[in-house]
Structure 1
Amino acid sequence: MTVEQQTAAGPATDFNNVGVQEMMKLYYSRLFPHQEMFKWLAYGNDGKHPKTDGGFFQRREFCFTLDGDIFVRYQSFKDGGELAAALKDRCPSKIDIGPVYNVDPQRRAAYQGSGQGFAPVERELVFDIDLTDYDDVRTCGKEGHICGKCWPLMAAAIKILDAGLRQDFGFQHIFFVYSGRRGVHCWVCDERARKLTDEQRSAIAAYFAVYKGQEKGIAKLATSLDDHPAIKRAYDLLQDAFEQRLLPEQRLLEDEQQCQNVLAYLPNDAIRSDVQQRWQRVHGSEQRWEVLKEAVEEEAKALDGARRGSRPSGDPRAAKAMRKSIKDIVCAYAYPRLDMEVSKKMNHLLKAPFCVHPKTGKVCVPIDPDVAWEFDPDTVCTVGGLLNQLNSGSAAAAQGEEPWRATDMAAAVDTFRVCFLDALQQEVKAGLAEKARAAAAQPTLAW
């Protein structure tokens, strides 16, 4: 009996015991929010306004990953209905979204070698952050692991990106998506962002790339952490995240290797030895952190001459470096670690929201940045759980409504709409109306 037949037979099926790929046909038929995806990616070009670009959506590239890791690139669809039909028919294990091209990507061969060519013309500015890049920081697990203890690293990244993109670059239409396993994706969808060149995308990504990898166990951090207003804003947020969430959750200063890693950021052997001795008298990450800050500040005051004694002349530069070591530790552990290559190129693919992760079965749900700290990856809805809700009889949708509205998917779609789609739709409609007014105001030539 197929999964579809089991569903029709009644509520006996427990979809939590069914393979993820086996459930995808039902998922795309009954749970995937096709209309919302089309409204987003059409950007108002849905044929309902005289100034719409009727071919816009069809020039968008979709890539399907079919069962068996078969990648099918340069898929395109004339509208949301055709996309929905293709998803139901082909049941991809993953959907990636690419750029909008100058021509229909499925017909690219006809233009290659011609004067028109085949090239991307717009694409959302995107960011990808993966918890595996924090494996040197996490004590709760490595690689594919994710839990409430390491989620604050992702929440901090969401907060810093959201603030920087809005306040420093003026973007408004931004949404974040849980990747379904261990990371977060960010989509910036303002028209200005979609028209950025590769060089401009690289520059924006570099702006956020304070963390630049490691060298001999020490994080390489770009620029001064004292001078730039954006870095100061980020540090103020990260300081609270580090002290109130990461230290107690990860128990960083109760792990011997992490203790040595933290001490390595202090400027000299003398202060490292002093802190290590003081740590022998206290226990717990939060208490040890307070001891470290106290020792660093005492040394900094001595260096800048605030305390008379063996160094009456003071050394303000060394004092500044001493205090900066605290900021270095916080930023090294908590500043967003971006996958830079994802953001640099217009033609880079990124997984679509509302996909289902093939290993976890979790839906790639949008995240409200205002409540990023409260988001719990362990409670994200799964395809099996959603189908169980449909199959229970207690989640009957109202007449004429999409079935997903009677499941936990409704909350995910509401987040997408309230945090992003509704405002975007208002702006694109206003833009189309302005184009119509401008066209009407043009004088008519008499021949």
Structure 2
Amino acid sequence: MATAVAQLPAVRPPPPPTSSGFDDLEDAEMDNLLSAIDEKKLEQAEMGEPTAYLAYYKYLLPWKQLYLWLNRTYTVPSTSRNFTHREFAFTLQNEAYLRYNSFGSPEDLKREVCRLNPARFEIGPVYSAKPKDRKTVQKTLFKPVSRELVFDIDMTDYDEIRTCCTGKGICKRCWAFISVAVKVLDEMIREDFGYKHLLWVYSGRRGIHCWISDEEACALNDDARRAIIGWVDIIKGSANTTKKVDVGGYVPNGPGNSNNGGNGRALHPSLRRALEGNDGQGPLKMAFVDVILRDQDCFKEKKQWETLLNLLPTSELDAITKLRAKWSTHPFRPSLDKWSDVTEAAAKSKKQGIWKTALEDVILQYTYPRVDTEVSKHLNHLLKSPFVIHPATGKVCVPLTVTQVDKFDPDRDCPSISQLLREMHVATQKNGIDLHKEKGQMSSMRAFWDQTSLKPFVETMDRHVKAIMQDLRQAKKEKDAKSFDF
């Protein structure tokens, strides 16, 4: 790895190593950046200005919360194997990629991040030995043993559906796809798998990650992870595949007719819950009307409504022909009206069960969460850390609750590195804080995030960490109580 890294062309060399920790890390250059309120210069920080990254790592990133989350122990300040045997990977400013880093303390991690000043860093699994010592361990004995169960939802997978943006673009309108996906996945994971400690983290550009920290989830092997993602993932096929959902067809006189009020098939309760909720209007049905039909108008163009017609029951050719003729005559008919035409055709048919099944599949195909399955399958997968900066946008990867996700606007609500540096500069000036005097204390976990718009997101992380620690304490109490039983 070291040889390969050395051969990479140096686009922008990382800062030189220092022997005194934080004391001499580009302080003059960083202070110039903070003191000169030059909007253009600060905006350049969005695109990966190294000095701005260094200021963020030294003064703003909430190292304490990140450490407590990964350490996962109820005894503080005891450092567990969950941290000391954890892999960290760094992407440097010159695009070199350094894997198998590990640290004995959060101070060591912060010190190395500030020394390397990476464009970002990723978190991997806990190994059987410290990753930095892997070459001293027999190869067959060095293996991943624990890792949070993770899910990744990327807006790119919705390109064939959304009409407001494409590719790397994202706005509040298409964020609604992420919002409903989080709502459905969060409930499914909690209700069907019994996990409690879910941390949702905005990716900084066009997606969201879910980290599940329950002990049982972290202990899952690759086979169990593949089984879970296979259970969750129901959207199959490429962009050229018309029908992407197959969760069972209509069965005349089947169990679905008697057990599910004539639904025609026995969907898994989690899918039925996502579709219908407790009152017949679950999150997917609501999103289909509000997002797919009203806002995105997904069946406006001929290619789009032809896809819809191809998803209707093939046995109902006469009804489909009439719909095609009507929409060809009125090409600008809104998607909401087109869907009303479809439901009217279904109501007139004698094959109610077949139609109901087909329409449910349409709703699932357009609104059900689309997850990157490869991210979830393996223990050794690396995923971008919470609170790092997305190098292409300058946005912070912030934690969110399900309620916050629903209200979140990536453009308006996510703090950027330039915004945070401005806020920190104003706060330090207002409070008379001299960063030159602070620099000798930077090996501590002190940060200035509480004086910036990063504060509510760190507080979200705080609550998440406290919930994990409370559960660990309770489990320890129960275990101790059992040890006294005779």
Question: TM-score over 0.5 for the alignment?
Answer: yes
2:319 match: 271
Matches within 5 A, 1:294-313: 294-299=344-349, 302-303=350-351
Q: Of the candidates 262, 267, 271, which is equivalent to residue 231 of structure 1?
A: 271
Q: Of the candidates 98, 102, 123, which is equivalent to residue 128 of structure 2?
A: 102
2:286 match: 240
2:235 match: 211
Which deviates the most, 428-437 or 377-386? 428-437
- Secondary structure in 1 matching 2:189: helix
C-alpha contact 1:76 1:105 (8 A) present in aligned 2: yes
Per-residue CA deviation, residues 13-71 of structure 1 (Å, 9 max, x unaligned), is: 651133423211001011111000001000017654xxx66444110001111112211
C-alpha contact 2:57 2:113 (8 A) present in aligned 1: yes
C-alpha contact 1:27 1:387 (8 A) present in aligned 2: yes
2:474 match: 430
Tell me how far apart the structure 2 counterparts of residues 215 and 83 of structure 1 sit (CA, whole Å).
42
1:306 match: none
Q: Of the candidates 157, 160, 167, which is equivalent to residue 136 of structure 1?
A: 160
Matches within 5 A, 1:165-176: 165-176=189-200
Tell me how far apart the structure 1 counterparts of residues 312 and 101 of structure 2 sit (CA, whole Å).
53
Matches within 5 A, 1:403-442: 403-418=448-463, 420-433=464-477, 441=484
Answering whether residue 61 of structure 2 is matched by residue 21 of structure 1, we say no
2:424 match: 390
C-alpha contact 2:124 2:382 (8 A) present in aligned 1: yes
Per-residue CA deviation, residues 207-248 of structure 1 (Å, 9 max, x unaligned), is: 111111248541322322742111111223211011012322
Letter in 2 for 1:78: G
In the alignment, structure 1 segments of 5+ residues that lack a partner are: 304-318
1:161 match: 185
C-alpha contact 2:82 2:126 (8 A) present in aligned 1: yes
Tell me how far apart the structure 2 counterparts of residues 172 and 9 of structure 1 sit (CA, whole Å).
44
Letter in 2 for 1:253: F
Per-residue CA deviation, residues 305-345 of structure 1 (Å, 9 max, x unaligned), is: xxxxxxxxxxxxxx322221211111111111111111111
Matches within 5 A, 1:258-407: 258-268=304-314, 269-279=317-327, 280=329, 283-299=333-349, 302-303=350-351, 319-379=352-412, 380-393=414-427, 396=430, 402-407=447-452
Tell me how far apart the structure 2 counterparts of residues 3 and 139 of structure 1 sit (CA, whole Å).
44
| Equivalent pairs, count | 419
Per-residue CA deviation, residues 285-308 of structure 1 (Å, 9 max, x unaligned), is: 222222222222222xx23xxxxx
Letter in 1 for 2:57: Y
Shift of 1:434: 5.1
Shift of 1:255: 2.1
The percent identity for this pair of structures is 33
Per the alignment, do residues 252 and 215 of structure 1 end up closer, same or farther by CA in structure 2, a change over 3 Å counting?
A: closer
Tell me how far apart the structure 1 counterparts of residues 432 and 323 of structure 2 sit (CA, whole Å).
64
1:148 match: 172
Per the alignment, do residues 7 and 393 of structure 1 end up closer, same or farther by CA in structure 2, a change over 3 Å counting?
A: farther
Tell me how far apart the structure 1 counterparts of residues 181 and 105 of structure 2 sit (CA, whole Å).
34
Tell me how far apart the structure 1 counterparts of residues 149 and 298 of structure 2 sit (CA, whole Å).
34
C-alpha contact 1:28 1:84 (8 A) present in aligned 2: yes
- Secondary structure in 2 matching 1:392: helix
Matches within 5 A, 1:58-207: 58-113=84-139, 117-207=141-231
Shift of 1:198: 0.8
Tell me how far apart the structure 1 counterparts of residues 110 and 135 of structure 2 sit (CA, whole Å).
25
Aligned-residue CA RMSD (Å): 2.5
Per the alignment, do residues 173 and 266 of structure 1 end up closer, same or farther by CA in structure 2, a change over 3 Å counting?
A: same
C-alpha contact 2:35 2:425 (8 A) present in aligned 1: no
Shift of 1:433: 4.9
Shift of 1:141: 2.2
2:73 match: 44
Which deviates the most, 56-65 or 281-290? 281-290
- Secondary structure in 2 matching 1:61: strand
C-alpha contact 1:176 1:184 (8 A) present in aligned 2: yes
